[in-house]
Structure formats: structure tokens, C-alpha cells
């Protein structure tokens, strides 16, 4: 099974470097990674290039013009460039632990999308991590226990491993609220069937919920990756939420209509998708 990891970023090369360090440390390195860049300056391109030079797996840089928050569009653009069968979505401020990709590969199952959890780092601890290039992706539970006691992280439980959860992972098959693109894995065929992300969501908020709602309407069910594939979420300022009310209304309409396909979605990049599948440059 070919896997693509799509990581969104915008003008935060120090955080992106920490995230890419996390992927370089993966126990399973049989994947390709796309940095889906929502209009960053040249500093991000330099960071990506530096990691491309030393990565054992392919790293691609997909860039779009800075026209405000357009995460849905840049994810579609990156998705159109890969022919991988399975896609893991995350963000450029979410550091994976070494078993992250392996866990998602293990949890992949036809007919299901997989949503994982995250642990939030405090503002002070995030600055320390980036300033000192702390290899937090390699820390064991003892160090995280100490960090939790210091309130460097908001919770400890997601970092515990509970193998063999089995049927418990499918207790909430219709849950869309906990599906966030900071930690979400979906079969590419299912993404194509629902036409990817809806690019009508411009501005922060709800584009990931919309995808989950439409996947569910299309018969794909939710599977939990809790206690298997957590991420370490670096602190950041809250993004501007001017568009949130409109996006919430749009999501409510999608839920009511039970529409499956995005009207403005992945098919906009049909030529790129065709090249990805036939191996053309």
C-alpha cells in the first residue's frame, strides 16, 4: 500500500523543520511527503529544500499564491499530485512520534477513514522546543510525565499505547466532530469519490468537518486512532476567525442536504491527477 503524507504549512519554517524531523525519524519510511504550502515566503522553500537533500523518502513542495487561508485548496492541489492509495493529512505544526506512519498503515481498512488525537504543547515549551531543537519525537513516556507535571503539555493519556483496541476503535462510526485534518487518514479512492475538500471554505474553520460529513454521507465510516497515532501540536496564536460563521452555516447546509461531492473540489486539478497516476513529470 502506497502512502502519501500531506502536511499543510504557512510561513512557519521553524515549526515545519521540527515536523519534518519527526518524519525523518519514522520507523516506517515507505511513504512520500507533500508540503502543501498556502503561500509562504522563500524561507519555507529553503527549509523544504534542505530536507529534500537528506530525506530517505521523497519530499515534494506544492505552493499556491497567498490569497488568505485556503487550506482546502492547497490540500486538493497536493492530493492531485500523488497516486498513492492512502493519504495521511496533518499540519506543519504537528510533530509525529516515530511510530505514527506505521500505526496509520496498520489501522487502514477499506470503508473507513481514521482520525487520531493530539497533545498540545504550551507556549513556553513550544518556544523552547524550537529554539533548542529539542528532539521531542524521541522522548519516552517518563519525560512526558515530567513535562505534564510542569504543564508543558495539556494531557498525557494520548501518548500511552493501547494495542489491540480492535472493535473499540469503531464505537463511533458516524462521528464527524473529532475528525480533524491535523491527524486524519483516508483512502484516496474515497477522497476522489467525494471530490476532495470543498474549496468554498475559504478562511479558517470547518473544511475538515465538511470532508468528514461528506465521507459519512458516502458510506465511509469513522475509526479511531486514539492511543495509537498521537501528534505533538506546537503552540500557535489563534487564527483569525472572521469566516467561521459563514463556514458553520455552510457546514450545516451540507449536513442537512447529505451531499456527498464537493461542488468546487478535487476535479479542478484533473490534469494533475492524470499525471500522478501515469507517472508523468
- Do the Cβ atoms of 88 and 6 come closer than 8 Å? yes
Cell of 13: 519554517
How far is the C-alpha of 83 from the C-alpha of 52, rounded, in Å?
Answer: 20
Q: What is the pTM of this model?
A: 0.94
Beta strands in the chain, from DSSP E residues, in sequence order: 3-9, 32-37, 59-63, 86-91, 94-96, 112-115, 118-120, 183-187, 221-224, 231-233
Q: With a cut of 60, say whether residue 1 has pLDDT above it.
A: yes
Q: Look at residues 182, 190, 185 and name the one whose alpha carbon lies nearest to residue 19.
A: 182
Model pLDDT, residue 276: 60
Model pLDDT, residue 240: 66
- Do the Cβ atoms of 161 and 228 come closer than 8 Å? yes
- Do the Cβ atoms of 119 and 232 come closer than 8 Å? yes
Q: Look at residues 72, 14, 17 and name the one whose alpha carbon lies nearest to residue 199.
A: 72
Higher-scoring residue by pLDDT: 167, 233: 233
Enter the DSSP assignment of 137: G
How far is the C-alpha of 259 from the C-alpha of 237, rounded, in Å?
Answer: 33
Could you read off the pLDDT of 53-91 as tens digits, one per residue?
999 999 999 999 988 889 999 999 999 999 999 999 999
Q: With a cut of 90, say whether residue 246 has pLDDT above it.
A: no
Segment 89-99 mean pLDDT: 97
Model pLDDT, residue 26: 98
Segment 5-23 mean pLDDT: 98
Fold of the CATH domain 3-278 = Spore Coat Polysaccharide Biosynthesis Protein SpsA; Chain A (3.90.550)
How far is the C-alpha of 35 from the C-alpha of 4, rounded, in Å?
Answer: 11
Q: Look at residues 8, 69, 16, 57 and name the one whose alpha carbon lies nearest to residue 33.
A: 57
Cell of 176: 464527524
Per the DSSP assignment, residues forming a β-bridge with 221 are 112
Model pLDDT, residue 226: 92
Amino acid at each position: 500500500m502506497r502512502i502519501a503524507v500531506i502536511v499543510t504549512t504557512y510561513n512557519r519554517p521553524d515549526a515545519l523543520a521540527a515536523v519534518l524531523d519527526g518524519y525523518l525519524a519514522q520507523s516506517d519510511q515507505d511513504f512520500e511527503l507533500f508540503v502543501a504550502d498556502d503561500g509562504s515566503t522563500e524561507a519555507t522553500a529553503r527549509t523544504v529544500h534542505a530536507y529534500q537533500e537528506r530525506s530517505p523518502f521523497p519530499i515534494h513542495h506544492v505552493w499556491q499564491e497567498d490569497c488568505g487561508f485556503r487550506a482546502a485548496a492547497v490540500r486538493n492541489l497536493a492530493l492531485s499530485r500523488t497516486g498513492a492509495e492512502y493519504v495521511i493529512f496533518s499540519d506543519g505544526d504537528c510533530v509525529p512520534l516515530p511510530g505514527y506512519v506505521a500505526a496509520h498503515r496498520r489501522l487502514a481498512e477499506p470503508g473507513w477513514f481514521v482520525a487520531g488525537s493530539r497533545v498540545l504543547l504550551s507556549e513556553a515549551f513550544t518556544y523552547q522546543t524550537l529554539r533548542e531543537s529539542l528532539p521531542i519525537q524521541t522522548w519516552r513516556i517518563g519525560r512526558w510525565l515530567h513535562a505534564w507535571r510542569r504543564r508543558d503539555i495539556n494531557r498525557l493519556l494520548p501518548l500511552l499505547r493501547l494495542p489491540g483496541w480492535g472493535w473499540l476503535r469503531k464505537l463511533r462510526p458516524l462521528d464527524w466532530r473529532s475528525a480533524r485534518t491535523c491527524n486524519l487518514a483516508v483512502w484516496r479512492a474515497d477522497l476522489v469519490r467525494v471530490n476532495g475538500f470543498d474549496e468554498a471554505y475559504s478562511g479558517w474553520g470547518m473544511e475538515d468537518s465538511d470532508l468528514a460529513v461528506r465521507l459519512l454521507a458516502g458510506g465511509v465510516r469513522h475509526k479511531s486512532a486514539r492511543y495509537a497515532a498521537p501528534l505533538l501540536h506546537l503552540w500557535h496564536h489563534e487564527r483569525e476567525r472572521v469566516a467561521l460563521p459563514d463556514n458553520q452555516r455552510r457546514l450545516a447546509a451540507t449536513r442537512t442536504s447529505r451531499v456527498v461531492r464537493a461542488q468546487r473540489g478535487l476535479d479542478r486539478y484533473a490534469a494533475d491527477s492524470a499525471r500522478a497516476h501515469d507517472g508523468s513529470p
